[in-house]
Amino acid sequence: MCGRYTITDSRRVAEAFELDAIEADLSRPRYNIAPTQAVPAVLVRDGRRVLADLHWGLVPSWAKDRTIGARLINARAETLASKPSFRSAFAQRRCLIVADGFYEWARRGAAKQPMYIRVDGGMPFAFAGLFDRWRPETPEALASCTIITTEPNALLKSIHDRMPVILPREAYAAWLDPAQADPAALAALLKPFDADRMTAQPVSHHVNSPRHDDEQCIAAIDSLFDSGSWLRR
């Protein structure tokens, strides 16, 4: 799954995603982004790439109330085309959720070790995401999103049994293309990212609380387990 992530250098985001407009709040670094918060995502609107803030936790247009979003922060790639919560968004409302790192908790028995995972040494990257709009014509209007997950690559499988789908740059246009509606072609993009381009580093339990949003969240430490060799490539 993916339940926490970072945007530590917002200035690089605009450069990485060839944006036409920025509506999202990029005023500060974010070291511990958590579900239900506003998160920046790239959408295509009238043929233009727009970075907009979305509520993390997808609330389908047909939902009776917005509380369902807390249970829909992630969506499994294998069932997007069949699950009612995601089927319409998969066909019509895809987005790129921008990040430059994410956290996962490795388990050894009852112990949990937070891991900070980066791509290409900390460069911005995109999670494959879906979005929807709930009650768009009312004061309660909400645009929300979910992060798609898949099976883990060689690095992540020693940490967790799922990982977020990270799209390579060459897949951005196809994923965002509103004219692309072939489920098989879209599903082919949702594969584990190249493990050789990723690193995982133990960090402290400071990150466990979503109230903590500072550089200490990403500060490297020695593994809290007896042996940390399995945590690095």
Q: Model confidence over 203-232: pLDDT tens digits?
A: 999 999 999 999 999 999 998 665 444 444
CA distance 3 to 163: 10
Residue 2 bears catalytic tag? yes
pLDDT, greater one: 192 or 110: 192
Catalytic residue among 2, 95, 145, 217: 2
Catalytic residue among 95, 104, 145, 217: 104
Average pLDDT of the chain is 94
Which residues have C-beta within 8 Å of that of residue 125, sequence separation ≥ 6? 16, 98, 99, 100, 119, 166, 167
pLDDT value at residue 233: 36
Residue 95 bears catalytic tag? no
Mapped onto helix, strand or coil, the DSSP state of residue 101 is: strand
CA distance 95 to 130: 5
Model pTM greater than 0.85? yes
pLDDT value at residue 226: 56
CA distance 155 to 233: 7
Per-residue pLDDT tens over the stretch 158-192: 999 999 999 999 999 999 999 998 999 999 999 99
pLDDT value at residue 205: 96
Ranges of H-type helices in the chain: 11-17, 87-92, 172-176, 183-187
Kindly state the helix (H) or strand (E) to which residue 186 belongs, with its residue range. Answer: helix 183-187
pLDDT value at residue 124: 97
- All domains in the chain, ordered by first residue: 4-105+121-196 (3.90.1680.10)
